[in-house]
Each structure stands twice: as C-alpha cells, then as structure tokens.
Amino acid sequence: MAHLIPPMDDEPPAEFIAFVAGRLASLRSETARLVGGERFAPEVYSEVLTDLAGHWRRLCWRNRISHRDARTDYLDRRLVTRTRQWREDQIYPVEVSVVRQDPGPAPPAGTAAPVRRAAPPAETVARRLAPLLPTTARAEAQVVAEAGIAWVHAYRRYVWRRYARLCGGIVLLIGYLVQFMSQVSAPG
C-alpha cells in the first residue's frame, strides 16, 4: 500500500542514535540541575527523548530546508516543557539550589601544602596487561538502550494515534452517511 507520508520505522535510525550519543551526557546533567538531583532526572529526560523520537523525521526535514539545527532547538524546548510539567505534577514544591563544594581551607601564604602520596600499588602481571586488553565496559550500549527505549515509546504513541485517527475517520464517515441518507429520504 502506498503512503502519502511513510510510516514511522519500528527501529531507531543510526542518525538518531548518534544524535542521542552526542547529547545524552549534557541532557542528563541539565535535567538533573533542573529537577534538583539525579534521583528524578531519568523520568524527565526519557520523556524528552521520546518526544524527540516522535518528531525525528519532521525535524530532519526542517534541518534540510532551513540549514539550522532544529533538533537541538526542539530538544531544549521539550526539556523546559517537560521539566515544567514534572514540577507541576509534584505533590510538594521542588526547591532547586546550586551548591558549590568548598575545596577546604587554603594553606597559609608562603607555606606549601603537605602532599600525601599513596603507596604505589603492587605491580602484578594483570595490571601490566590491563592497558593492552580491550575493555569490557560498553559505554555506547547505554546510549543505544536509551535511544531504543525512547524510539519504542514514540513508536507506540504513533501506532495509537494512527488507530485514533482511523476510528475518528470512521465515526465521521458514518455520521456523514447518516446525515446524507436522512436528507435523501426526507419527504420533500
């Protein structure tokens, strides 16, 4: 079946994953700053990524037409909107304050701060070989997971909206047919 607007893919494109990989760390830190800590940040930034995934194709088209980064602008706007919605949903008011860590008292002028050196670790064969072995930690796996989860949520929203449009169209068609048949069958 031919589509005027092609349906949304059920898998995230590589461009979306690359975009999320480039912006995820700053998105997390900004979200944590806006909601007052790391505790509630994942629920806000995951909604922001879901919104971005739902509008990804439209934002890519806008990028090509306007030659501006519409995706980052949209991400920033959605972060502000989702943060505002999150704050309104909270039972208790959320207070966000910026706290700087105190580095401690400075040593008196003219004296050097005492330097404490840790004892050198015992040199083992495993420690000498560790830089040569590939790491088992996969940083990109978390990015792919975040992007994939956001894309799946956006795809589910897309499917439900598609069903709602179809049902709404059917109701309007039936209403139109009833109206038309009542006008045709009216004695006149």
pLDDT digits (tens, 9 = 90+) for 122-173: 666 666 666 776 666 555 778 888 888 898 989 899 899 989 999 999 999 9
The H or E element spanning position 14 is helix 14-35
Q: What angle do CA 152, 137, 129 make, to 5 degrees?
A: 165
Exposed e or buried b per residue across 33-68, where buried means at least 16 C-beta atoms within 10 angstroms of its C-beta = ebbeeeebbeebbbbbbbbbbbebeebbebeeeeee
Residue 88 covered by a domain: yes
Among candidates 22, 79, 8, which has minimal Cα distance to 49?
Answer: 79
Residue 166 covered by a domain: no
Phi, psi of 133 (to 5 degrees): -90, 145
Q: What is the mean pLDDT of residues 118-125?
A: 62
Copy the structure tokens of residue 98. 């910026």
Tens of pLDDT, residues 47-106: 999 999 999 988 888 888 888 888 899 999 999 999 999 888 877 766 666 656 565 565
Residue 38 covered by a domain: yes
Measured distance CA(62)–CA(45) in Å, rounded: 23
Residue 184 covered by a domain: no
Among candidates 50, 92, 128, 24, which has minimal Cα distance to 32?
Answer: 24
Residue 176 covered by a domain: no
pLDDT at 146: 87
Number of domains in the chain: 1
pLDDT at 178: 94
Residue 58 structural domain: 9-94+143-157
Residue 167 covered by a domain: no
pLDDT at 64: 87
The pTM is what? 0.66
Residue 103 covered by a domain: no
Measured distance CA(51)–CA(153) in Å, rounded: 9
Among candidates 66, 77, 70, 57, which has minimal Cα distance to 7?
Answer: 57
Q: Can you say how many angstroms the Cα of residue 172 is from the centroid of all Cα atoms in its chain?
A: 36
Copy the structure tokens of residue 140. 């990109």
pLDDT at 11: 83
Is there a contact between 74 and 52 (Cβ–Cβ < 8 Å)?
Answer: yes
Residue 1 covered by a domain: no
pLDDT at 37: 81
pLDDT at 132: 72
